[in-house]
Amino acid sequence: MQTLDHDELSVTVDARPDVVYALISDVTRTPEFSPEIISCSWLDGATGPAVGARFKATNKTNRNRPSWNNTPVVTVADPGREFAFSRSEKFAGTIVWRYLLEPEGNRTRLTESYTVLKPVSRLGWFVIEKVFGNSDRRADLRSGMIKTLRRVSTAAEGDQRALDSRIAAEPHA
């Protein structure tokens, strides 16, 4: 049986922390970055990141397998510093996903991590392996984190360049 506990990866992004935070905390944009997320939408009238805000996420790991939904809850919404949410599923345990942002001059050290608070049950592992076809979930999650960080970096760097261009074009007093 597989096990999960914790993993993290970091990347340096050529964009300021506020620019990076705007991307990662807008869960409606998560499908642009994560290879496992099909859609995300805020629930209960939430329109953006705030502690306690819930959102619906639809995940899919393989085009030949079914998708599934979950309802994460934002646990940290600290602009420019940290964004985190907790995802609990009946047999798939509780996992906290966290994005830490550390300024490095005009750049950002972005760390994505997950920590398992409640482990996946035996039945959950059976479903993950047999129904969803994930024989090495730890490797799948790591691969997804690599892709996510790369995509967030590309988007943030483009947003930073656009912001810098707008600022440079403004008339100076």
Phi/psi at 96 (5° precision): -100, 125
CATH code for the domain of 24: 3.30.530.20
Q: Is residue 173 part of a domain?
A: no
pLDDT on residue 73 = 98
Phi/psi at 145 (5° precision): -65, -40
Alpha-carbon gap, residue 120 to 48, rounded angstroms:
29
Residue matched to tokens 């760390």: 111
Give me 113's structure tokens. 């991590």
pLDDT on residue 172 = 67
Alpha-carbon gap, residue 51 to 29, rounded angstroms:
18
Query: Long-range CB contacts (< 8 A, 24+ apart) of 42-48?
Result: 43/71
Q: Is residue 132 part of a domain?
A: yes
Q: Is residue 1 part of a domain?
A: no
Range of the domain at 42: 6-168
Q: Is residue 82 part of a domain?
A: yes
Chain-centroid distance of CA 33 in Å reads 8
Count the domains in the chain.
1
Contacts of 41 (CB under 8 A, 6+ apart): 27, 28, 55, 56
Per-residue pLDDT of the chain (173 residues; tens, 9 = 90+): 677 889 999 999 999 999 999 999 999 999 999 999 999 999 999 999 999 999 999 988 776 777 889 999 999 999 999 999 999 888 888 999 999 999 999 999 999 999 999 888 888 778 878 877 777 888 888 999 999 999 999 999 998 888 888 888 887 65
Q: Is residue 120 part of a domain?
A: yes
Give me 126's structure tokens. 């059976």
pLDDT on residue 86 = 97
pLDDT on residue 31 = 96
Q: What is the rounded radius of gyration, in angstroms, for the C-alpha atoms of the chain? A: 17
